[in-house]
Every structure is written in C-alpha cells, then in structure tokens.
C-alpha cells in the first residue's frame, strides 16, 4: 500500500510545481523530478515524472490551445524523433549523478547573451535543433526546460504563444520519455501508477492557477523571472550531483 504521507507530499508537490510551470512554462518539472529522485530509482522516477508531466503539460496546452504554433511544434517533433533514435541505438541508461549534474548545468544557457547564441524556434532549422537537443536531454536526464527555453525566450512570440507551444512540445516529449524507459507497464509498479492517478487532478488544478497568474504578468517580467527561477533550481541539482560524485 502507498503510505498516506507519501501520497499527500507528492500531491502537494505536484500542485505547487504545476503552478510554477503554468506561470513560466517550465521549472516545475525540475522540482518535481528532484522530489521523485529522492523516493524512487532513477529510471522509475523519470518515468513517473514523465507521466505526471503529460497531465500537467497537457492541461496547460489545452487551456491555451488557441495560441499553439502548430508549424513550430511539428518541426520540433521531427528533432525529438531523431534524438530518440540515437539514444535507442546507443542503449543509453541514466545514473543519478549524471542526471543531477546535467540538469544543474542547463541554466547556464539562459544567461548566454543573445548575440552569442541567437536561437529562434520560429525558424525551421532551429526548431529541429530544439527538438533534437531538448527532446534528447528530456529522454536522457528527465528534464530539458532551460534547453528548450533558449529557443523560445528570444523569439518574437508573446508569452502566451511561448507557453502554449512549449507545453504541447513537452506533452509529446514526456510521452516519448515514458515509452523510452520501457513503457508504463514495465517501468512502474502498482504504487507508482497510484501516485500518477492521485497526482493528476492536482496537476490540472495547479496548471489552471498558474495560467491565471500568467495573464497578469508582463512579457518583460516573464522573461526576467524565468532566468532566476531556473538558475536557483539548477544550483540545487549541481550541488547534489557534485556531492554524489564525491561520495556524499
């Protein structure tokens, strides 16, 4: 049986992290993954987080569906498919220290000056690269928010189109991640399934709250806060990864 305290903790975490992602389009999944990595084996934590994130991102995409750029989404999916094929051929399996350090280093990307790395998801070749790098990292380490973000945050899209298109992208990316780790039937136990079922309504509720908060933000405020939020989360992951390598 799933302990009541564990279920309550996961439900609260899912609500808060879904709210966070509802506002910024990412970051929530990074926090949720950190909690699950403390409770579950690495591959199982990534699969469970992916299943929950399908619900959270799916509801966010639905709430803002009129703002999705379907052309950009289609090209990103092609890049994701290429990354999945490459990782499958390599027979990649994750380990905790690698996951933590990779996620911890991701926020560096959002601080790179625009003239150094002028990426724009509205351009087809950039969108393909976004799918390949972002989708590949999501499969490899369970998260890719900052990597995907650098392709969107500097486009001419407004914050609503950014959030909607990224949410749709992440639904497909997380679904690919769950399938990559052997499918829900083999990667998750009965208790893991129960966690997803319990978390689902809290993911939708948190996403809905975040969506309404987003409407009150300016585009400049959205971009500025996104950087600081993902940087703080990245520092946590990087510290944990270093401790793991040091044997702590």
Q: Which is more confident, 183 or 198? A: 198
What's the mean pLDDT when you consider all of the chain? 83
CA angle 61, 62, 64 (to 5 degrees): 70
180 closest CA partner among 61, 80, 64, 57 = 80
Within 10 Å of residue 149's Cβ, how many Cβ atoms?
A: 28
Identify which has the larger pLDDT, 172 or 158. Answer: 172
Q: Single out the residue of 155, 84, 77, 75 nearest to residue 114, CA to CA.
A: 155
Phi and psi torsions of 144, nearest 5°: -155, 15
Q: Provide the pLDDT for residue 2.
A: 63
8 A C-beta contact, residue 69 and residue 161: yes
Q: Indicate the pLDDT class of residue 141, thresholds 50, 70 and 90.
A: confident
> Measured at the alpha carbon of residue 174, what is the angle toward residues 153 and 98, in degrees to the nearest 5?
85
| CA distances in angstroms from 89 to 82, 120, 141, listed in the order given | 11, 29, 17
Q: Give the C-alpha separation, 46 to 60, whole Å.
A: 20
**Per-residue CA distances from 221 to 109, 163, 187 (Å):** 19, 14, 39
Confidence at residue 71, expressed as pLDDT on a 0 to 100 scale: 93
Regarding predicted confidence, which is higher, 57 or 124? 124
Secondary element (H or E) of residue 49: helix 42-63
Residue 218: helix, strand or coil by DSSP?
Answer: coil
Nearest alpha-carbon partner for 27 in 220, 210, 243: 210
What pLDDT is recorded for position 33?
85
The reported pTM is 0.73
How much of the chain, in percent, has pLDDT values that exceed 70? Answer: 94
What's the CA gap between 152 and 216, in Å, rounded?
20
3-class DSSP assignment, residue 3: coil
Q: Among the ranges 10-14, 126-130, 170-174, 209-213, which has the highest mean pLDDT value?
A: 126-130
**What's the chain's Rg over C-alpha atoms?**
17
Residues in the chain: 248
Q: Is the pLDDT of residue 186 over 70?
A: no
Contacts 24+ apart (CB under 8 A), 193-200: 194/2, 194/7, 195/2, 195/6, 195/7, 195/10, 195/48, 195/52, 196/48, 196/51, 196/52, 196/55, 198/2, 198/7, 198/10, 198/11, 199/10, 199/11, 199/14, 199/52, 199/55, 200/52, 200/55
């Amino acid at each position: 049986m799933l302990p009541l305290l564990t279920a309550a903790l996961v439900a609260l975490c899912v609500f808060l992290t879904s709210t966070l992602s509802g506002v910024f389009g990412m970051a929530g999944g990074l926090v949720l993954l950190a909690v699950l990595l403390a409770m579950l084996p690495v591959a199982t934590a990534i699969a469970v987080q992916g299943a929950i994130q399908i619900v959270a991102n799916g509801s966010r995409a639905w709430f803002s569906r009129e703002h999705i750029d379907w052309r950009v989404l289609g090209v990103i999916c092609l890049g994701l498919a290429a990354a999945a094929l490459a990782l499958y051929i390599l027979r990649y399996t994750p380990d905790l220290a690698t996951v933590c350090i990779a996620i911890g280093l991701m926020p560096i990307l959002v601080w790179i000056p625009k003239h150094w790395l002028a990426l724009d998801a509205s351009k087809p070749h950039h969108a393909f690269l976004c799918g390949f790098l972002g989708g590949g990292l999501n499969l490899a380490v369970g998260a890719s928010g900052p990597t995907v973000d650098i392709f969107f945050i500097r486009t001419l899209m407004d914050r609503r189109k950014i959030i909607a298109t990224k949410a749709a992208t992440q639904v497909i990316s997380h679904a690919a991640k769950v399938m990559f780790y052997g499918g829900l039937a083999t990667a998750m136990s009965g208790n893991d399934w129960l966690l997803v079922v319990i978390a689902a309504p809290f993911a939708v509720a948190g996403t809905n709250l975040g969506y309404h908060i987003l409407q009150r933000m300016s585009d400049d405020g959205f971009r500025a806060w996104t950087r600081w939020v993902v940087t703080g989360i990245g520092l946590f992951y990087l510290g944990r990864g270093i401790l793991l390598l040091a044997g702590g």
